[in-house]
Amino acid sequence: MNIKKSITLAVMTALSTIPWQSTANDVWQQSISYTAGSEVCFASTLYKARWWANPGEEPGSSQWGAWVAKADSTVCDNTVSPPVEPPVDPVDPPVEPIDPPVEPIDPPIQPPAEPPVTPPSGDPYETGVTKNPAGGYFINPALVANTELEKTSSPLFSKVKNTIRKLDNASVESVTPLRAANPRNVKRLEAILDQASFEFLFAQRAPEYTYRKFLQAVAKFPAFCDDYDSEQQAEAVCRKALATMFAHFTQETGGHDPHSAIPQWRQGLYFIREAGCSETSAGCGYNNSCGPSTWQGQTWPCGTDEQGLYLKYFGRGAKQLSYNYNYGPFSDAMFGDVNVLLNNPELVADTWLNLASAVFFFVYPQPPKPDMMSVVDGSWVPNEADIARGISPGFGATINIINGGIECGHGYDKPQALNRIAYYEQFAAYLNVPIDNNEVLNCSNQDSFTNDGSGALNIHWSEDWSWKQYRPDGKSFECKLVPYQTPYFALSEGAYKRCVEEKFNATVE
């Protein structure tokens, strides 16, 4: 919320904009700005700033943010805990960040300049890649499609693609309560939670949150309340997923009014827009990453109003989606076009997208974190690296996924985490979800997920610098999966083709 505080807070905010160039193993501090390349320790993990990091932008809070975990999963000495409560947004919009580098932080060395001999067949180049007489290259579409398929066919990648599969929007729009033609996962949900129960559980919800919109949000993602080996298992997983999701709804968007006659666990979905923010109010821009000279601004171009000012990307919906680098990927997942929600961000508040944004976050992974659906259904199994960091299956792991940087790994339970646990227990009781005595509900002794964990998956493309001796100029004409963020999101259709065309000055045809 953008609430004016005292003169003291204003002074502190002003001082916090002084950039800091850290050295390795400096502990991250919420009041400091960091320049690109700074390295800090946070939750026992070493992070590096890809570009300017504003005060309060904590490492690990978003895969689209300024901070990226070091690829070698370096464990560092973290001696300063982050604040108990997340920092309050400053009155004015954040300072425009320094343009981040377009290329990876540490790009590999270019391959040798001289290619080896031509293939024994006598053909000058391998079939599928030819030089364009007008400049650049032509690449056979079949070669591109087959290469992408090969690079995304690992068991984990295949599982993720299945978990994030989506129903077309026309079918989603047709969903209504008790409709005979509703998708199977929606019918399963309806059998567990009817409209009266939904309205009882969210007694103080904003009017934009309706039962029908929730059914539509679930319909969009068939993996939520999906089929399993038996109907009994499918129902049990669906009930547990609902209890888990509703607990996080309530912490993120609840009224949190201890004086209300409605208990706090039933005060969820109170906020549809971030408190104090509206499309026409002052402040609440969240558009400091819109600059067209930045790769974020180019990848997720911000819309403008009639005065030519950037639109506002403050928190909206059950997930309180914010910033263009979150609206863009969500828009791409919903419409196959990043511009729909970047040009119309209010749709995340006013349509079924207000709940679909939360389901989207529930089924999509945020590497190195697994997706929450896989934690709930038990398909995510911690490996030795996860176990060594105290991460185990249970509700506590979902807290770690959603807000681990603030709420986990401090040796004691933070108030926010305690709220989530209490809400989960209440929703579980209402939905007849048994909680095993061995289920770890908290995350006080869990460190952050790391790149050697079982849920870690590279989901961005970047240029493959490897040497291909039988292709023009020895170039690979391929992109590879990398553990850092790039403009090419591997879970987005067409991203691999764009990467190949843009990195190699090529046309796929």
481 pLDDT above the threshold of 90 = yes
The b-or-e profile of 129-147 (16+ CB within 10 A means b, else e) is bbeeeeeebebeeebbeeb
Q: What pLDDT is stored for residue 68 in this prediction?
A: 77
Q: What is the mean pLDDT of the chain?
A: 86
Question: Which tokens go with 212?
Answer: 């029908």
Q: What pLDDT is stored for residue 64 in this prediction?
A: 66
Condensed to tens digits (0 to 9), the pLDDT of residues 186-236 reads: 999 999 999 999 999 999 999 999 999 999 999 999 999 999 999 999 999
Instruction: Say what the pTM is.
Output: 0.76
Condensed to tens digits (0 to 9), the pLDDT of residues 231-269 reads: 999 999 999 999 999 999 999 999 999 999 999 999 999
C-alpha to C-alpha distance for 406 and 417, rounded to whole angstroms:
9
Dihedral angle of Cα 179, 184, 186, 192, to the nearest 10 degrees = 100
1.10.530.10, 1.10.287.110, 3.40.50.2300, 1.20.140.10: which CATH number matches 166-364?
Answer: 1.10.530.10
Q: What pLDDT is stored for residue 75 in this prediction?
A: 59
| pLDDT top residue among 410 and 30 | 410
Place of tokens 């989901």: 459
> For the chain, which residues make up each domain, given as ranges?
34-71, 125-160+458-508, 166-364
| Known catalytic membership, residue 252 | yes
- The alpha carbon dihedral of 332, 337, 339, 343 has a sign of negative
Amino acid at 155: P
Question: Which tokens go with 119?
Answer: 């293939």
Condensed to tens digits (0 to 9), the pLDDT of residues 169-179 reads: 999 999 999 99
Out of 85-89, 298-302, 368-372, 381-385, pick the least confident: 85-89
C-alpha to C-alpha distance for 417 and 396, rounded to whole angstroms:
8
- Please report which residue ranges of 87-140 form alpha helices under DSSP H: none
Q: What angle do CA 240, 245, 248 make, to 5 degrees?
A: 130
Q: What pLDDT is stored for residue 9 in this prediction?
A: 40
97 pLDDT above the threshold of 50 = no
Which runs of E-coded beta strand occur in 359-465? Answer: 460-463
Which residues lie closer than 8 Å to 49 by C-beta, 6 or more apart? 34, 35, 36, 37, 38, 39, 40, 66, 67
Helix axes 211-220, 184-192, angle to 10 degrees: 140
Condensed to tens digits (0 to 9), the pLDDT of residues 16-37 reads: 443 444 444 577 777 677 777 7
Strands 137-139 and 506-508, bridge-based pairing: parallel
- With a pLDDT cut of 90, the percent of the chain lying above it is 70
Q: What pLDDT is stored for residue 126 in this prediction?
A: 59
Q: What pLDDT is stored for residue 77 in this prediction?
A: 57
Which residue of the set 252, 407, 478, 501 is catalytic?
252
